[in-house]
Structure 1
Amino acid sequence: MAYILQVDFRMQGPFGDEMAQTFSGLAESINKEEGFLWKIWTENQETSEAGGIYCFQTKENAANYLEMHSNRIENLGINEINAKIFSINSKLTKITKGLY
């Protein structure tokens, strides 16, 4: 079973192509995290929000990454972090062509 970590927070930017360029090194480092499978990057410039949907092999991997990532973005001055960890219902996800 895999686990989803959902994270979002207020951020003033960058967004779009500038975000992709600015955070490409971060994206590469996420690939090296223990138990990491994939991430979908999310952004909404109109509401000044960003975050991501991550998939990890275990709930412990997701929780460990969340702790590290929360500290990292809090050090950047972002204090209101919304985060949840979910298990994946693989049978329903397969029917709806999910990324699992």
Structure 2
Amino acid sequence: MSYVLQIDFKFKGPFGEAMSMEFEKMAESINLEKGFIKKVWTESEARTEAGGHYHFENEEDAENYLKMHLERLRGFGIEESNVKIFKVNEKLSLINKGLS
């Protein structure tokens, strides 16, 4: 059974292409995290929010990544984040192309 970690937080930018350039190395490093499967990056310049949905092989790896990432966010001056971890219903997700 896999798990999704959902994180979002207030973010002043950069957004769009500037965000892509700024965080490319971080994106590459996320691929090396234990149990990591994939991430969808999210952003809303209109609401000044950003975050992502991370897919992990198990809950323990999702929790460990979360601890590390919250520390990293604090280093960027982001003190508050909305965080949830969900178990993935793989059968239904396969029907809707949510797993690859």
TM range (shorter): over 0.9
Q: What residue number does 1:65 align with?
A: 65
Measure the CA separation in 1 of the matches of 2:5 and 2:48: 20
Specify the SS of the correspondent of 2:26. helix
Normalising by structure 1, we get a TM-score of: 0.97
Opposite residue 82 of structure 1, the aligned amino acid is: N
Per the alignment, in what secondary structure is the counterpart of residue 73 of structure 1?
helix
**Cα distance in 2, alignment partners of residues 45 and 59 from structure 1:** 30
Unaligned runs of 5+ in 1: none
Question: Post-superposition, which runs of at least 4 consecutive aligned residues in structure 1 deviate over 3 A?
Answer: none
Instruction: Determine whether 1:53 maps to 2:53.
Output: yes
1:20 and 1:66 map into 2 onto residues whose CA distance is 21
Alpha-carbon shift at residue 95 of structure 1 (Å): 1.2
For residue 99 of structure 1, report the CA deviation from its aligned partner: 2.7
Q: What residue number does 1:38 align with?
A: 38
Identical columns (%): 52
Aligned twin of 1:22: 22
TM-score (norm 2): 0.97
Q: Matches of 1:20 and 1:77 in 2, distance apart?
A: 19
In structure 2, give the amino acid aligned to 1:95: I
Segments of 5+ residues of structure 2 without an aligned counterpart are none
1:92 aligns with 2:92: yes
Q: 1:12, 1:45 → 2: CA distance?
A: 8
- Secondary structure of 1:84 counterpart: strand
Q: Deviations over 1:60-88 (max 9, x none)?
A: 00000000000110111101111110000
